[in-house]
Structure 1
Amino acid sequence: MKLVLPFVLLLAFGTPAWGQAVDSQGAKQLSDDLSRYIGKKALDSGILKISADGDAYRIAFDFNALIRANPSKDSLTFNLAPFAMLVKPRSDGSWSVSSDLAPNAFVDVEGPHGVRFSVSGSAFSGIYDPGLAVFTSGAGSMAGMQVTSRDPKEPMDLSVGAGTSSLNASKSAGGGVDFAMTQTIADFVETAIVDEGETGLKVPVTMKSPRVSAEITGNGVHTRAFLDLLGFAIANQDEASLKANQAELKSLLTSALPLWERLQYSYRFDGMSVASPAGNFGLADLSATTGIDGISDNGKIDCRIEATGLTVPQRLLPSWSAALLPTDIELSFGGANLDLDSMLRKAIEAFDLNRDPPLSDEFGETLIADFMANNPKVVLGHSTVKNGNIEVAMEGEMTFPGKKPEARMIVDVAGYDKIVQTLQTAAKSDQQAAQAFSFALAVKGFGKALPDGRLEWVINAKADGSVTVNGAMLKQADPVQDDPLTDPSDATAGDNGGAGAKLQP
Structure 2
Amino acid sequence: MRYTSMIAIPLSLCASMAAAEATQEGADALTATLQAYLGATEGVVSVEAGDDVYDVTLDFAPLIAKAPAEVKATVTPIEFSLTDNGDGTWEMEQDQPLDLTLSVPGAADISVKVASYKSSGTFDEALQSFTASTTTVTDMALSEKITDPTTKSETNVAYSVASMTFEGTAEEGADGGVDSTGTYEATGLSQTMTVPEMGMPFTLTAETQTGTADISGLRPDAFYKLIAFAVANPDAAAAAAQQDTLKGIITDGMPLFNHIISTSAVKAVKVDTPMGAVAMTDMGVEVEANGLVDDGMFREAFSINGLSLPAGLVPEWAAQLVPTSLTLDFKASRFNLAAPAAIMLETMDMVNPKPNTPEQDQALLAALLPDGVVDITLAPGTITSPLYSVTYDGMFSAGPATPMPVGKATVTLTGMTAVEQALAAGPAEMTGQITPMLKMAESMAKPGENGALVWELESTATGGFLVNGTNMMGAQ
Normalized against structure 1, the TM-score is what? 0.86
Find the residue that maps to 2:186 and give its secondary structure. strand
- Give the 3 Å change call, closer, same or farther, for CA 476–54 of structure 1 in structure 2: farther
8 Å contact 1:17–1:95 — kept in the other structure?
no
Distance in 2 between the 1:260 and 1:244 partners?
Answer: 27
Partner residue in 2 for 1:482: none
Partner residue in 2 for 1:105: 99
Root-mean-square deviation (CA, aligned residues, Å) is 2.2
Deviates more, 1:106-115 or 1:333-342: 106-115
Q: Which runs of 5+ in 1 are unaligned?
A: 479-505
Report the alpha carbon displacement of residue 108 of structure 1 after superposing the two structures with TM.
5.6
Find the residue that maps to 1:405 and give its secondary structure. strand
The yes-or-no answer on 1:325 pairing with 2:319 is: no
> Greater strand share, 1 or 2?
2
Distance in 2 between the 1:76 and 1:452 partners?
Answer: 64
Partner residue in 1 for 2:436: 438
Partner residue in 2 for 1:169: 170
Report the alpha carbon displacement of residue 440 of structure 1 after superposing the two structures with TM.
0.8
Q: 2:452 aligns with which of 449, 454, 465?
A: 454
Distance in 2 between the 1:10 and 1:98 partners?
Answer: 13
Partner residue in 2 for 1:148: 143
Q: Which runs of 5+ in 2 are unaligned?
A: 147-152
The yes-or-no answer on 1:87 pairing with 2:82 is: yes
The yes-or-no answer on 1:119 pairing with 2:114 is: yes
8 Å contact 2:335–2:370 — kept in the other structure?
no
Deviates more, 1:290-299 or 1:246-255: 246-255
- Give the 3 Å change call, closer, same or farther, for CA 465–318 of structure 1 in structure 2: farther
Distance in 1 between the 2:340 and 2:332 partners?
Answer: 17
Find the residue that maps to 2:200 and give its secondary structure. strand
Distance in 2 between the 1:435 and 1:444 partners?
Answer: 15
- Give the 3 Å change call, closer, same or farther, for CA 468–344 of structure 1 in structure 2: same
Q: 1:391 aligns with which of 348, 365, 389?
A: 389
8 Å contact 1:459–1:469 — kept in the other structure?
yes
- The sequence identity of aligned pairs, in percent, is 24
Partner residue in 1 for 2:183: 182
Partner residue in 1 for 2:7: 11
Distance in 1 between the 2:142 and 2:354 partners?
Answer: 41
8 Å contact 2:213–2:262 — kept in the other structure?
yes
- Give the 3 Å change call, closer, same or farther, for CA 336–477 of structure 1 in structure 2: farther
Find the residue that maps to 1:314 and give its secondary structure. coil
Find the residue that maps to 1:114 and give its secondary structure. strand
- 1:336 aligned partner, one-letter code: S
Find the residue that maps to 2:343 and give its secondary structure. helix
Give deviations 1:9-41, integer Å, cap 9, x for gaps: 213223123212421111111222233333333
Q: 1:247 aligns with which of 244, 267, 276?
A: 244
- 2:142 aligned partner, one-letter code: V
Report the alpha carbon displacement of residue 160 of structure 1 after superposing the two structures with TM.
1.1
8 Å contact 1:163–1:185 — kept in the other structure?
yes
Distance in 2 between the 1:110 and 1:225 partners?
Answer: 33
- 2:191 aligned partner, one-letter code: E
- 1:105 aligned partner, one-letter code: D
Find the residue that maps to 1:175 and give its secondary structure. coil
Distance in 1 between the 2:475 and 2:40 partners?
Answer: 66
Distance in 2 between the 1:227 and 1:404 partners?
Answer: 44
Partner residue in 2 for 1:503: none
Find the residue that maps to 1:255 and give its secondary structure. helix
- Give the 3 Å change call, closer, same or farther, for CA 239–114 of structure 1 in structure 2: closer
Number of matched pairs:
462
- Give the 3 Å change call, closer, same or farther, for CA 222–443 of structure 1 in structure 2: same
Partner residue in 1 for 2:257: 260
Normalized against structure 2, the TM-score is what? 0.91
Partner residue in 1 for 2:149: none
Report the alpha carbon displacement of residue 287 of structure 1 after superposing the two structures with TM.
0.8
8 Å contact 2:336–2:370 — kept in the other structure?
no
For residues 401-412 of structure 1, the aligned pairs below 5 Å read 401-402=401-402, 404-412=404-412
